[in-house]
Structure 1
Amino acid sequence: MADSIKYPPKTIIIHQGSTILHIGLATDSEPKVLLNCIARKSARGCLGKIPEIVKLKPLISFDSELSEEILSSFKSSDDSAHVVLKDELHDIWIQGSSPNNSCSDSGTQFVPFIEGFKLCDGDTYELQWPILSGSFNNKFVITENVQSLADMWSYALTKYFNIPCDRFPKYSVLLVIDDIFIRREVRYTIDKLMKELKFSRFMVFPTSFLYMGGTGSLHNCCIVDLGFYKTTISCLANGLSLLDVRVNLPRGGSDCLQALRAALEYYSQESPELSELLTRYESGSYNDTFQLLTAMHTADSDMAMRLATESLNAVLSRDIAVKLGSGTLTLPASAIVKIHLSPFFPVDTAAEISLTPPPPLNPQYQVHPADAPEPDDPLDDYCSRKRKLPGDEETEETSIPKSSSSSKASSEPETLQKPSEFKDLAEAIAWSIRNATVAAAPISDPSESEALQQQQPTAANNPVEQPSAATDTRNEQLRQKIASCIVLVGGGAEGISGLLLKRVLTQKLQQLLGEDFRVNVFTRPQSIPDPAWQGARIAVSADFASELWISRKEWEQLGARTLREKGAFIW
């Protein structure tokens, strides 16, 4: 199918995350993958580090066995597994450590990507990460973050794609944003693209929609995006990401690296030489991060090799070799499992007897447009009232009769109770799926609602208020469809981590949702190396794309109103 699609030659795709930037042309089968940071000359210069988010430290017990629930999920499938390892961060560090990628202080005002990280070892440069956990890094003001993004995009397009800045007006841009976004930050980013970089036009897509298209998933599905700092859960109904049940959990690959550090410290106690390596570099620095990424990669590689001939349950009794510096440390396979699962299932990986309960997962939800602190067009309501003619619509007080409390309750839409914490990842996914029908109600097909209303019996020309069995059935069918297509994507869904999460989530979600649901959890198809990138290429080539492009002139005249009218998501 991909070979038959004609991709637009002058369309740029930008997909940025907290740590990784994917950028390239729609005609490219794969993007250029870069570290999403930039070193700037500054009086605040200091040692460059991976950003650290303050969290409660997970309580992992390496003395105790895996919980019976975890073990039973591994026993459910006794066959061997073919695991394909893909670690973009590790690959970036490998490329950055090659002699051909040496970087020196050339006197420039900024040095982006991995070269900039390597350069920040003194007092001259400050390393800036403009995106942190899906939104702008609050260590810097919003204009600094936007300028960092613009400098990195311009540098990448000029160096790797031979597109100088004066040719940007000849190109269109597809900007990929997180499903949970801050509207002001999106507006600032588009302003930079249109007014300063002067691209000809743009369109915006949420990540979940592109993953849905790139993986070939059904239009009713649940996309679980496992990133470096966070995990985003998005349920889609008829291809539209449901705003009210989007969930961000503050857990990701960085937590797995910290769990690995704890395991290395625990198992290297009898080897002073290896233990000393863990304190040689400052935590979060270039060399420290490279050491942890290498240790994780070697552990996963050894485990993947064993899984090619043995079942997961059998591999749990083996020891896994982990490279640490120039030496090798041996860890039990159960410890590797805990490293990958502990951020997402803290209760199952904590000590059985502990005075302190494991920290819960505190979610973040998408702010509804009506509750946004900065409305797009403050005069919209005023103008709409002024446009009404005297006979168009009466005021609320005179035209709507007061109804009884029972009829009011029946007419009001069901409201969502959003939890302040979840026990684990499975509980958050189950909540999102269960409440998908509440979020989907406002966007349901009005013709279906009208048909159902016409079918209801009437008495004295007044509809009889009865619960609609057809609506209940349709809601249950939507939940079942979403539960049958849960797709794990992102860096945390790759390799060993993806395999373990798939097994555990399948069993836990089946228990949480009940026997009426057929839970299917999928990971990335091996034939599609980057589903979001492929989904973006398909989107810019689709017939509907012509209706979604927003020109520079439209943006300058109407601003964010264009996103409300043309955006492929609920703005």
Structure 2
Amino acid sequence: MEFTTWPQVNMINQKNYYTEFLKQDDQALAVRLQQEERLNARKKAAVDIDRARAQAAQDGVPYAERDADLDDDVAMDDADGEDYGSKTIVIHIGSQNMRIGLATDALPKTIPMVIAKRSTRSESEDSEPLPKRVKLDGPSEEWFGEEFAREYNTMAQDFKTMRRHNKRRVLPNSRELVTKWNSATPPEMIPEHSDPMRIDWTELPDNAKAAQDHIVGHAALRIPEKSKPRYRLFWPIQHGWLNEKDYNNRNMLEHDFFLIIEDSIRNELGLNHKREWAQYSCVFIIPDLYEKVMVTRVLDELLRDFSFQRVCFIQESLAATFGAGVGAACMVDMGAQKTSISCVEDGMIIEDSRINLKYGGYDVTEAFVRMMLFDRFHYSDFNLMRRHDYLLAEELKAQFTTMSDEDISVKLFDFHLRAHGQQTRKYNFKIYDESMLAPLGFFRPTIFDQSRKLIGRHTIMPRSVDLYNGRPNDPLSKAQIAVYTFVNQFIPSAVSAPPAQSAQFLSTSTPVRRPLALPSHLNGDTDGTPRSSPAGSPAPEDGSTPHPTGDDANGDDIAEIKDIQPDTDVIDRAVPIMPLEQAILISIQHAAGTGPESERRRRDLLGSIMCIGGASKTPYLGAYLEMRLRAAFPQFPREILVVPPPRELDPAVLVWKGGSVFGKLRMTNDSWIGRLEYDRLGSRILNYKCIWHW
């Protein structure tokens, strides 16, 4: 007798079984919906043709047959005609600015990525002054610590050596002339009614209860410091990440982030009613090395709360190639607080070449202010946390910084300090080499302050992890791991102290001297390079799995990176920084690979390096970068070429322009994510819709 009436299922023969689950295109919802959409378009086109033929026969006129076959997708989905893209919103988020507009717009609207919220105290009253003063009771040379003084003096000495090498005149007492003048020249007071360039501050109602709860963009930066009621500024994006340092709550951080986007759509694009948004599509531009939690959260918000008809994502470097109209290039995107480098070929980003460095134009601004204060700048109360000082610093950087040593000499300049409720102060000041040493930080990033860039990291925003093994699965390229390796060996100031329970990370390998002191991957030597998982997979939690390493390839001051294998803990504690020319060479080398086409690909990429982003507009930056690259890689003296964006396009909006071009292409139909697909599959739809490996 059987013990139960339940039917018993025999075990499957492990040697002979087969399944077709998700092995055919029509079994995937995303592909099936695309096929149905194309079929419906063909049916509609066929009905239109039959109707046109019947109308022509009724009118007694011959019907002009179409050149295109019904099986072709040419113009089948061209329902909008020449205005295709007028219902597509393109959004590019940055740490300092957001660029937004319709795909048919020639240029985007640029809005500061900042929100002012009612508070009891402003940000300058609640925070210590920036640049951070280490010591205030001594001379200005001691304000920022011994490390900054040593780096600054070393850079100044190297700069003198370079000028002598270039046959430039060098005065021995240039620094003394600057410090003496700046410390002894007081400002000139100008009454506000006599200042024709006075600032239009944001007007607030006399009744505090009638004041707005939040103000976004340019108006937020023009709120007086001591306004009634008080407002505090928040920047939801910092260094390309969500700003976890200034927020204590994830919901509030995400709320401010999307509130800036929502207000910009209403005020800048004129779409005041959300019921209109259901007719619009959205192209959202994300970093090359993105965070999956952020991308999935943006997708959910745009489809559910914003109610867009459909959404698609494109990476920054790929969008830049669309904007520049090139098929293959090494894109160097220099933003306000991050610099990303990626090699693009045939419309795809080479995954192993992606690099994200945490410095940009704002670091140059802060370094420029520190250098002027170091040289006894008379406005010693300079504080970047104050709104008018921040705007002034950005203006001074844009006006005086340069990368041409031909323009460097002791010169007299002036600027006007305008603060709400105060008389305008006119300062006369002298500068010497500060205007070039500050942007030289791109090639010597140790001059930048790295102490605040990792504060609060992953404290309120969870990290995306693999569902099966629990390991982080955000994309991490081999070139980016090489940057972390460089930081761990040569820039200890950019690595925070390990937790008490973590063991100290040590290296036991011995460096190997190589020809020209170049790294192994720059010489084609890959035998000793440990292999890792494919690009896009994360570094494991332990340090037992080998990972690729990188090397320092500087021209004048070449150092070698030991074969360190950083684990996840070390990566979380290190700020990814590296001299710009070295990072470009490492990115190109990882993009070239080791196959038979590697040499040709390397030469092509070296000859198509393009600097974009707002920080790339520093005068003569491209020429100086080209000189540094040729010094670091003398094997290719003629192939190396740094080119500006074509057609005189503004490099700051080139990525957005590429996103608008991408949004108008018919080929992007396969990357659009609709509401039906997202409701059924959730964020899993990104595996089918992204045009890169998700």
TM-score, length-scaled by structure 2? 0.58
1:340 aligns with 2:449: no
Query: 2:103 is matched with which residue: 6, 14, 26?
Result: 26
SS at match of 2:336: coil
Question: What is the SS of the residue equivalent to 1:119?
Answer: coil
For 1:74 and 1:183, the matched residues in 2 are separated by 52
Q: Which runs of 5+ in 1 are unaligned?
A: 76-95, 305-311, 351-357, 364-371, 380-405, 439-470
Distance 1:238 1:72 in 2: 42
1:359 to partner: Cα distance: 8.8
Task: Verify the 8 A CA contact 1:223 1:234 in the aligned structure 2.
Answer: yes
* 1:508-528 CA distance string (max 9 Å, x none): 222333424611112234621
C-alpha distance 24-144 of structure 1, shift in aligned 2 (>3 A): same
Matches within 5 A, 1:412-491: 416-418=548-550, 424-438=579-593, 472-491=595-614
Bigger helix fraction: 1
Report the secondary structure of 2:284's partner residue. Answer: strand
Shift of 1:295: 2.1
**Greater relative contact order (Cα < 8 A, sep 6+):** 1
Q: 2:325 maps to what in 1?
A: 216
Determine whether 1:299 maps to 2:404. Answer: no
- Would the alpha carbon gap of residues 156 and 73 (structure 1) be closer, same or farther in structure 2, given more than 3 Å must change? farther
Contact 1:184 1:374 in 2 (8 A): no
**Pair 1:508-2:628 in alignment:** yes
- The match for 2:429 is 329
1:403 alignment partner in structure 2? none
* Superposed displacement of residue 236, structure 1: 1.7
Per the alignment, residue 125 of structure 1 pairs with: 231
C-alpha distance in structure 2 between counterparts of 1:20 and 1:512, whole Å: 33
Change (3 A) 1:283 1:153: closer
Q: Is the 8 A contact 2:532 2:548 kept in 1?
A: no
Displacement, 1:13? 0.8
- Show the counterpart of 1:114: 218
Task: After TM superposition, give the deviation of residue 70 of structure 1 in Å.
Answer: 7.9
Work out whether residues 282 and 308 of structure 2, in 8 Å CA contact, stay in contact via their aligned partners in 1: yes
Determine the C-alpha separation between the residues in 1 that align with 2:549 and 2:360: 25
Q: Deviations over 1:334-384 (max 9, x none)?
A: 33111211243258x89xxxxxxx999x99xxxxxxxx84247999xxxxx
Query: Is the alpha carbon distance of 1:411 and 1:169 closer, same or farther for their aligned partners in structure 2, counting shifts above 3 Å?
Result: closer
Taking a change above 3 Å as real, the CA distance of residues 327 and 245 of structure 1, as seen in their structure-2 partners, is same
Contact 1:295 1:324 in 2 (8 A): no
Which structure 2 residues correspond to residues 93-104 of structure 1 after superposition, within 5 A? Answer: 98-99=199-200, 101-104=202-205
Check whether the contact 1:214–1:532 (CA below 8 A) recurs between aligned residues.
yes
Q: Which residue is 2:339 aligned to?
A: 231
* Amino acid across the alignment from 2:430: T
The yes-or-no answer on 1:137 pairing with 2:243 is yes
Q: Which letter maps to 1:520?
A: L
Cα contact 2:341–2:355 (8 A) shared by 1: yes
Normalising by structure 1, report the TM-score.
Answer: 0.69
Q: Secondary structure at the match of 1:321?
A: strand
Specify the SS of the correspondent of 2:101.
strand
Equivalent residue in structure 2 for 1:35, among 100, 109, 112:
112
Separation in 2, partners of 1:234, 1:50: 36
- Which segment is superposed worse, 559-568 or 18-27? 559-568
Superimposed CA distance per residue, residues 58-116 of structure 1 (whole angstroms, 9 cap, x where no aligned partner): 822275351656887999xxxxxxxxxxxxxxxxxxxx974285455643222111322
Alignment of 1:254-403 (within 5 A): 254-267=362-375, 269=376, 275=378, 277-279=379-381, 282-300=383-401, 312=404, 314-317=406-409, 319=411, 321-323=413-415, 325=417, 326-332=426-432, 334-346=433-445, 373-375=464-466
**Other-structure match for 1:83:** none
- Counterpart of 2:649 in structure 1 is 528
**Structure 2 CA distance for aligned equivalents of residues 540 and 315 of structure 1:** 43
Contact persistence 1:120–1:127 (CA under 8 A): no
Q: Distance in 2 between matches of 1:321 and 1:524?
A: 31
CA RMSD of aligned residues (A): 3.8
Q: Which secondary structure does the structure 2 equivalent of 1:503 belong to?
A: helix
Describe the shift of the 1:73–1:534 C-alpha distance in structure 2 as closer, same or farther (beyond 3 A): farther
Equivalent position SS for 1:158: helix
| Per-residue deviation, 1:117 | 3.5
> 1:161 is matched with which residue?
269
CA distance 1:74–1:113, change in 2 (3 Å): farther
Unaligned runs of 5+ in 2: 1-80, 133-143, 169-196, 418-425, 455-462, 471-526, 535-545, 552-565, 567-575
CA apart distance, 1:318:
6.1
Which residue, 291, 297, 300 being the options, matches 1:188? 297
Q: CA deviation at 1:238?
A: 2.2
Contact 2:236 2:256 in 1 (8 A): yes
Number of residue pairs aligned between Structure 1 and Structure 2: 450
Using the alignment, how far apart are the partners of 1:72 and 1:45 within structure 2? Answer: 49
What does residue 519 of structure 2 align with?
none
Larger Rg over CA atoms? 2
